[in-house]
Amino acid sequence: MEFLKWRLESKTAIITINRPPANALSNSLLHELDGLLSELENNTDVRVIVLHGEGRFFSAGADIKEFTVVQSGEQFSKLARDGQQLFEKMERFPKPIIASIHGAALGGALELAMSCHIRLVSETAKLGLPELQLGIIPGFAGTQRLPKYVGTAKAAEMMFTSEPISGLEAVQWGLATRAFPEEVLMEQTMKLAKKIEKKSPVSLKAVIKLLNYSKSAQFYQGVENEATMFGEVFDTNDAKEGIQAFIEKREPNFTGQ
């Protein structure tokens, strides 16, 4: 694997996102993650999975430069559906997945973290969906999962302003379960993982399956609509301007077209 590494500690598989400097989520990285999850699902030594990032960030989000090589809204919609499919696989994964978030989890990285069963954060971590700053929208089910955790109004504020919240705020808002000083985050994450790994794999699998029944048909319709609109928005001039401005590190000039 090029962008991921993993090790087994007791019965917990620790997956590390390792794509410096910002652990951006490229298509290749997500493909690696899909394959690794399939491998770990069949590994009877693994009871729990911890997902975290190497270096300064959990992940700063999608690799925006890859967006410049996609030619059509239809291709962007397919890109969104592929990501949605992987993150749905994670949410339905029969073994608990814990996201251990430090530094930042922005855009697609927060969508990745929201597909994990539990999120632990450093107190100073930054979590957000800043896509509107680029003239685009979340595409990996972020518009549907975020309101489940923080409510519609707070989700709207986070997306409309593109401003991240801190790890402490994420706990207060219900997006994460616990916040710790960054220097002890992984230690505390492993303490939780080792509590969970002692439970019956059969019981854990059953509870995960039951938790997913809480998602309604409206959720899945929303996810499908999100993928379609993801592509439609990418066909606009504002999206092209926003992405180019991001790459050029300047403020975008949106015209509403």
pLDDT tens digit string along 169-221?
Answer: 999 999 999 999 999 999 999 999 999 999 999 999 999 999 998 888 889 99
- Return per-residue pLDDT of the chain as tens, 257 residues: 999 999 999 999 999 999 999 999 999 999 999 999 999 999 999 999 999 999 999 999 989 888 888 778 888 899 999 999 999 999 999 999 999 999 999 999 999 999 999 999 999 999 999 999 999 999 999 999 999 999 999 999 999 999 999 999 999 999 999 999 999 999 999 999 999 999 999 999 999 999 998 888 889 999 999 999 999 998 999 998 998 999 898 999 999 98
Assigned domain for 176 exists: yes
**Active-site entry in 131, 169, 197, 226:** 131
| Catalytic-residue membership of 182 | no
* pTM of the entire predicted model: 0.93
- Residue 200 resides in a domain: no
Q: Which two tokens stand for residue 53?
A: 């990032």
Q: Is residue 155 part of a domain?
A: yes
41 has catalytic annotation: no
Q: Is 155 exposed, middle or buried (0-12, 13-18, 19+ CB in 10 A)?
A: buried
Domain with 165 in it: what CATH number?
3.90.226.10
In a domain, 232, yes or no: no
Residue 209 lies in a domain: no
pLDDT of residue 67: 84
DSSP state of 149: H
Give the CA distances from residue 22 to residues 61, 83, 89, 247, in Å, rounded to whole numbers and listed in that order. Answer: 8, 19, 24, 15
pLDDT value for 173 = 97
Q: Supply the range of the domain harboring residue 151.
A: 4-182
| Domain total of the chain | 1
Query: Cα–chain-centroid distance for residue 65?
Result: 18
Nearest residue to 113 via CA among 134, 85, 140: 140
Indicate whether 249 belongs to any domain: no
Residue 215: the pLDDT is: 86
Residue 233 lies in a domain: no
**Residue with structure tokens 């814990």?**
98
Q: Per residue in 191-226, is it b (16+ CB within 10 Å) or e — as a string?
A: ebbeebbeeebeebeeebeeeeeebeeeeeeebbeb
The one catalytic residue in 66, 74, 88, 111 is 111
Within a domain: 244: no
